[in-house]
Amino acid sequence: MKRTFISALAAIFTLSCTSGIPFVYENENPSSVFSIPEWNPSGLESPQEKLPDPLLFSDGRKVKSLRDWEKRRAEIATMLQFYELGIKPSPERSSIDARMSGDTLTVDITVGKEVLTLSSVIRYPDEGEGPFPLMIGASMISLPPEVFDGRPIALMNFSERQVTNYGQFGPRDDRGHYQFDRLFPDLTDNGAYIEWAWGFSRIIDALELLGPKVTRIDTKHIGVTGCSYAGKMALMCGAFDQRVALVISQEPGGGGAASWRVSHTLEEVEDLERTDYHWFKESFRDTFSGERVSSIPYDRHELCTMVFPRALLLIGNPDYKWLADESMYVSANAALKVWEHFGVEDRMGWSIQDGHMHCMLPQSQYPEVEAFIDKFLLGIPDVETKVRKAPMFGEVDLSRWIDY
């Protein structure tokens, strides 16, 4: 932790050049440069009991290169938006106005005559001038403050209510009456998660527009984290914005990293039928409920792979059966194949630990969280991040679900 921030950047540069695989991208979705045709829902006619291979294009071609993967990632993103989430629009930069007032970042997004304003307070380290890496909490940062103590990292919370007037607790608006819907009235079928991901990306736009001299933030080292429904949100935000270097999804439950297929076979868990459909397109349940779940042409492990080649840590708590952590464990193993395929498996891991309250990270899980923060936000290379911790699921038959 004595390492200077400049030498940390040098370490990241060296690691990236050594592997040839970038740690982060300059654009929200660089794969959007590829032309993806309107999705043909032929998968509805071809049920697949096992998890689809994320390294196979829909036409059966194999991903062989990083450029291939960018195209395949775009295909996965297209399927997720078509069936489950709705559209994440990409406003022109000219429609975005950003400013800082003290430590508060504010961004105005203008679409037509409508303006949506987002604001977040940045909490800077006590020492140093920056620019600092930034950890953004989806709704809030539930990781204990001790994992950030002594580390030169700025913190911020992203308020999802500013996008949708909807949160897990308190008064809320209904679909079609969100702030987002004022800007995009043709997207009222959207689920809240893709709209939250849209708002999250606008926060990063604002940081980039103002630059490090104004914000004191290093936009090449941004992380996102959240727990429970916000763990889903963190995964979604990181998956759909490749400017995020590190995603830590804490106890996300069904609809997060847990496979829809696997969860369907488990009892008393959050699955496709038993979740909050403010979050997803209502047509998703109508199309794929019951045994039709095997006709989904993708699964949640492929949402996880959208984070590749960046860093992803999944955190579980099997004491809460509803979270479907066995299903997340299967998804994690399936997703890891992509990082392994490109030889950067140290950038993806999971830690599933019992014996603690929901969203209350026990000290036994601090080391893996701190390792991912040190390596992927602070650029300390000699840190072990090949984390595969889930002793309670050692007897799970992965071959039932994964055959690639």
Based on the residue annotation, tell me whether 228 is a catalytic residue of this protein.
Answer: yes
Please count the residues of the chain. Answer: 404
Tokens for 388? 């595969």
Considering 278, 341, 356, 358, which one is annotated as catalytic? 358
Q: Are strands 217-227 and 246-250 parallel, antiparallel or unpaired?
A: parallel
Q: Which residues of 328-342 are buried (b: 16+ CB within 10 A; e: fewer)?
A: bbbbbbbbbbbbebb
Helices 229-239 and 192-210: crossing angle, nearest 10°?
60
Considering 31, 139, 228, 259, which one is annotated as catalytic? 228
CA dist 163 and 214 (Å) reads 25
Q: Which residues of 348-381 are buried (b: 16+ CB within 10 A; e: fewer)?
A: bbbbbbeeeeebebeeebeebbbbbbbbbbbbbe
Output phi, psi for 249, to 5 deg: -100, 110
Start-to-end C-alpha separation, the chain: 40
Confirm if 295 and 47 have CB atoms less than 8 A apart: yes
Measured in whole angstroms, the distance separating CA 139 from the mean position of its chain's CA atoms is 13
Based on the residue annotation, tell me whether 358 is a catalytic residue of this protein.
Answer: yes
DSSP 29-69: -GGGGS--PPP--GGGGS--SSPP-TTB-TTSPBP-SHHHH
Q: Are strands 154-158 and 114-123 parallel, antiparallel or unpaired?
A: antiparallel
Tokens for 106? 């504010």
Q: Any idea which residues carry the catalytic annotation? A: 228, 358
